[in-house]
A and B are shown apart, each in its own frame.
Chain A
C-alpha cells in the first residue's frame, strides 16, 4: 500500500508570513493524484488544492501553491500571506488512479498562525 508521510506534526507562522508544509509519499505508480486538505476546528474537511501526477506544472489556488517533485515523491504546500483563518490541521493525501480509487492520508500537520 502507498504511504504518505508528514514529518512536521506542528508548525507555526506569523500572520502575513509564508509557511511551507512538507509531504512525501511512497508509490510505484506513475499516474496518481495528490491533495491537501484543511481541517479547521469545525472538523469539516476542506479541499485546499489538488495536483495530477501527469502535470508538470505546480498547482496554485490563490495564496496556496504546491511544489510537486515527482522524482523525489515530494508534495509540499506553501501558504503565502498567512491569515488567522489558515490555522487548522492540514492533511496530505494520495489517490490511486487505477481500480479501487483508494485514498491514503498523512498524519497531519497542525498549523498555528500567530497574530
Chain B
C-alpha cells in the first residue's frame, strides 16, 4: 500500500472557522491532489500540486487554498468553513513515470455545522 496519511480523519467544526487538512506521503511522488467526494458528484478536484511550491486550481477550488512546502506534505485549508464544504476529502498521489494510477489516502470526513 502507498504510504499516504491524512489527518484528521474526522472533524466537526462550525461555520466561519478555519480548517486545515493534512496529507503526508512517504513515496516521494511528485504529484499530489485534493479531491472532495459528494453523493451524485463523484470525486471533484479541488487543487493539485506538481512539485514543491507548485500548485494549481481544480474545478471546485473556490473557498479552498493549498500549500506544499515539502515534497511529502500537502495542506488543504478552508479559510472560513461553510456548510457547503461538508464532505469527504481525499488526498491522492501519483508518479508520472510509474504505473500511472492514483493512490489514495483513507479520506477525511469534515462536517461543518
Chain B, interface size category, equals: 20 to 34
What B residues does A77 contact at CB under 8 A? none
When the two chains form their complex, are residues A103 and B45 in contact, meaning their CB atoms are under 8 A apart?
yes
When the two chains form their complex, are residues B100 and A107 in contact, meaning their CB atoms are under 8 A apart?
no
Q: Total A-B pairs in contact (CB under 8 Å)?
A: 54
When the two chains form their complex, are residues A47 and B40 in contact, meaning their CB atoms are under 8 A apart?
no
When the two chains form their complex, are residues A95 and B100 in contact, meaning their CB atoms are under 8 A apart?
yes
What A residues does B71 contact at CB under 8 A? none
Residues of A within 8 A of B (CB-CB), count: 24
In the bound complex, CA of A104 to CA of B43 (Å): 8
1/0 contact string of B34-68 vs chain A (CB within 8 Å): 01000011111100101000001011000000000
1/0 contact string of B70-113 vs chain A (CB within 8 Å): 00000000000000000010101010100111101011000000
